[in-house]
Amino acid sequence: MTRGGVMAIKIDGGKFLIAGGASLVGSHLVKAMIAGNAAKILVYDPVLFDKTDSLGALKEDPRVHLVPGDVTKLHQFIEQMDGIDGAVNLAAYMSLGFSQNPWDAIDVNIKGHLNFLESARLNNLKKVVFASSSAVYGFGIGGGIAEDMPHKTNGIPAPAAAYGSSKIIGEQLCRMYQQKYGLDYLALRFSTVYGEGQHHRAANALYIIETYERLTRGQAPQLFGDGTESKDFVYAGDVARALVMALESEATDAAMNISGGRSIMTKDLVQMITDIVGSPIQPEYIEDDGRVRLKTGKGLHYINSKAHSLLGWKPEMPLEDGLRRLLGSLQ
């Protein structure tokens, strides 16, 4: 069914492909789609980045099919998208991946995404959703960031700038396919995603786990500088809900922030984790030690009012509650 030129799509009874779906966000999305009574959920993922997939017991559901697909292989994508109603592209190398293997990162983030779109076009999918990132704005910025913020590259580590640029290209490829072929899409720009099943590739979210692990070893958590750098965290379950709403929405040809919408300083984050653990250990303040870091400015948060306007979405999980869920899953 179409309204205003955009084809309506429902999770209930629908068939979906999730590229990169064995990831943190992918596992929460699969869970949401199962709850929404999807008829088929094809997880297209070779599970290269992590030791194992994040799906766990979700793979036992007969509607979930894990396929070791390669986004750089167009013929595989075309074959697997046959009969699919909608698709989500979560597959990507992040900043660290660009630093370690820029050739593969370009192949996956740009050529792989182009294969995703071309396969969707050839199979007449109703709609696709692209997992973009707040990295499109750059790093080292502060205050409230809306979707019209330009990309900042001055003073940014080259791999991080390359990652953000790949997401900008990904969004523009979506626009090209919408304008040229009428393929409906939405691009969701995630802030720092955290939650159960957390992988070890995202520097900002990994900071939560590193702090927890130091505390459980009896070591002091570490804070860079004066601890006033700020982050914007969004719970993976809230992200999955946004992806579902994006698929079902009649909105198209738009990019929007999917964020917690709240700024938290790293010293407050560490204190929150320390309180959850129940540790008396105080943090130590250190200078940069060479590890991969994505610096932020004070008061950083990503304004998510556009997502509320177009999708009716807003974050629901309080940060402390989400942290308790994540840290509880590590025990």
Domain boundaries, the chain: 2-195+233-261+298-317
Q: At CA 255, angle to CA 126 and CA 111, rounded to 5?
A: 70
Q: Which pLDDT score, from 0 to 100, does residue 287 have?
A: 81
DSSP string computed for 189-207: EE-EEE-TT--S--HHHHH
Return the exposure string of 124-162: e unless at least 16 CB atoms fall within 10 Å of the residue's CB, then b.
Answer: ebbbbbbbbbbbbbbbbbeeebebebeeeeeebbebbbb
Q: What is the pLDDT of residue 27?
A: 94
- In three-state secondary structure terms, 312 is coil
For 144-193, give the DSSP string: EE-TTPPPP-TT--HHHHHHHHHHHHHHHHHHHHHHHH---EEEEEE-EE
Fold of 2-195+233-261+298-317: Rossmann fold (3.40.50)
Residue 205: predicted pLDDT: 67
Q: What is the pLDDT of residue 2?
A: 38
pLDDT tens-digit readout, 189-201: 999 999 998 766 5
CA separation for the pair 189, 208 (Å, rounded): 21
Q: Give the Cα separation of 19 and 119 in Å (integer).
A: 12
Q: What is the average pLDDT value for the chain, to the nearest integer?
A: 91
Q: What is the pLDDT of residue 35?
A: 97
Kindly give the parts of the chain with pLDDT less than 50: 1-4
